[in-house]
Chain A
């Protein structure tokens, strides 16, 4: 794709995916929104697999349905038809309560605007998903400190989001996303609100998580530079899916 250095260059070669098991199976998914009396199709017959340890970038113009697809895979939105099976669980068959429980243990979220709770410290923000587990206080502390060490922010754990830069806030958000060791990490425009240097830093971090920890990452991005970190890039256009390897 390009000869220029990519955010992943420092983190070793991309893993070979062919022999890896499929972890996400998206089968004939359709989704439409109702605007007044008009039905606007957003996703049409989406059908693809994601293998364990894959770093997938979903790209496409605004309104192409990439964020909707990400939300469906993350279990925060419902399909109109079709199914999504993640780690052997058909999440489209789960009810609201089961889905929330499933998200708590299987999905890590990274949002464009970080979505940290402003009244909680970095430590407390990262600890949030662990509140839903049966871990003891000491165990939670251990996990949080480790996650913050991974994103190189252990020294800022007592700081509030407002005391951190955008890049640092996104790193805290990544620590929060990985602290439960989820099955998949979903990221919606994780560099969309960052300057070039911070964006590079975030992509490097995500690459490291993918290559060193084998984390499966599904990322929506507009940024071709960010997409360079992915092994697989799929393009959505008017609700249809194409795909291309980088």
Chain B
């Protein structure tokens, strides 16, 4: 029972961790624009002219020095070798400008310095720096036929940015011979103005773009993967739970068999069938609850683990942690109670339907 709840909780925690990582990546008052029909930034392309039109929209916030809080970013996937194993894996390289960092308060430089504009210098997310060869501070990565020096490491908490490498957008566009940006991200001057902005921009014939709040954008990015994890987890859980229910049933049948004389005695003393039924069901539910609590206890240690996997939607490596929420705790406990109930109902019915004389004869 505990094992089943462990698996059930672990899968939910995994899906939750993935979703949390991607959703946390975004901010409510930031807007992401990508080409209409694109599933991700990697597939998207926004022409320089289109980006300029977007930059002039009145909803774009104006920051210090009268500069628009807007970043035209380019996202490219490259393959890098992992530390230790040399196994290649896709990593997102994000070409950013000076506004990119300002719009993402969750991203902060923890080591080194910012890259100089126009230079072959890059920043690596903590997760990338740790897991990929050449991505540590002072190390050099080779891609786009150039060597890039890692001059800083940034911490982006549990967000997807931790699995990215950031560099100067213009440098990266030249290197990868890109004529278009992948996305335009800006901060709304008034967060409630999003709907008006979206309606106008999406109906503008010059712009073939789709606008999403950044939180929604990243939630959509995680949807397919989280759904896959949930379906996988539920399938595994259903198979495992059949075993657990049968186990619970065997335990409860044994409990009934061992207590036949007590059942007979209680019935003879005047306890009703429903009291016996209730007592055994309660015991079975308690067993389920204990199993569930034990499973959750062990599953909670998974929060210390960070795993990395390929995000199906962006085809890039994404590192995330198991995340335990109250919702998962309730779901897991409810699931364990259901298993306890299903496993206990037949033995409890058997106990309550025993003939008193037959039960007493087993003394």
Contact = CB atoms under 8 A, between A and B. Distances in A.
Contacts of B363: 111-113, 115
B356 A77 contact: yes
Contact of B269 (A77, A96, A103): A103
Nearest to A112: B363
A175 B269 CA distance: 13
Main secondary structure of the interface of A (DSSP, over half): helix
Contact of A128 (B264, B269, B357): B269
The range of chain B's interface size is 10 to 19
B230 interface: no
B355 to A, nearest CB: 8
Contacts of B269: 103-104, 109, 128-129, 132, 176
B266 interface: yes
Contacts of B270: 100-105, 107, 129, 132
The range of chain A's interface size is 20 to 34
B266 A76 contact: no
B277 to A, nearest CB: 13
B272 interface: yes
Contacts of A109: 265, 268-269
Given A111-B265, A117-B265, A76 B271 contact: no
A111 B267 contact: no
A101 B275 CA distance: 12
B241 to A, nearest CB: 30
Contacts of B271: 100, 104, 132
B216 interface: no
A73 B231 CA distance: 60
> Could you say which of B265, B269, B273, B363 has the most chain A C-beta atoms within 10 Å of its C-beta?
B269
A169 B357 CA distance: 21
A117 B270 CA distance: 15
Main secondary structure of the interface of B (DSSP, over half): helix
A97 interface: yes
A115 B265 contact: yes
B260 to A, nearest CB: 11
A76 B272 contact: no
Contacts of A176: 269
Interface string A156-190: 00000000000000000000100000000000000
A186 B32 CA distance: 84
Contacts of B268: 74, 76, 103, 107, 109
Contacts of B262: 115, 117
Interface string A87-108: 0000000001100111111010
Contacts, number: 55
A231 interface: no
> Could you say which of B268, B271, B272, B360 has the most chain A C-beta atoms within 10 Å of its C-beta?
B268
Contact of B266 (A77, A113, A128): A128
A43 B344 CA distance: 38
Contacts of A103: 268-270
Interface string A68-91: 000100101100000000000000
A132 B272 CA distance: 10
B328 interface: no
Nearest to A108: B269
A94 to B, nearest CB: 12
B32 to A, nearest CB: 64
Contacts of A76: 267-268, 356-357, 360
Nearest to A67: B357
A101 B269 CA distance: 9
Nearest to A101: B270
B261 interface: yes
Given A96-B273, A97-B272, A100-B272, A115 B360 contact: yes
A100 B269 CA distance: 8
B266 to A, nearest CB: 7
Given A97-B272, A115-B363, 17 more contacts: A74-B268, A77-B356, A77-B357, A97-B273, A100-B270, A100-B271, A103-B268, A109-B268, A109-B269, A111-B360, A111-B363, A115-B261, A115-B264, A115-B360, A117-B266, A129-B269, A132-B269
14 contacts: A71-B357, A76-B268, A76-B357, A97-B273, A101-B270, A103-B268, A103-B270, A104-B270, A105-B270, A107-B268, A111-B360, A113-B261, A115-B264, A117-B262
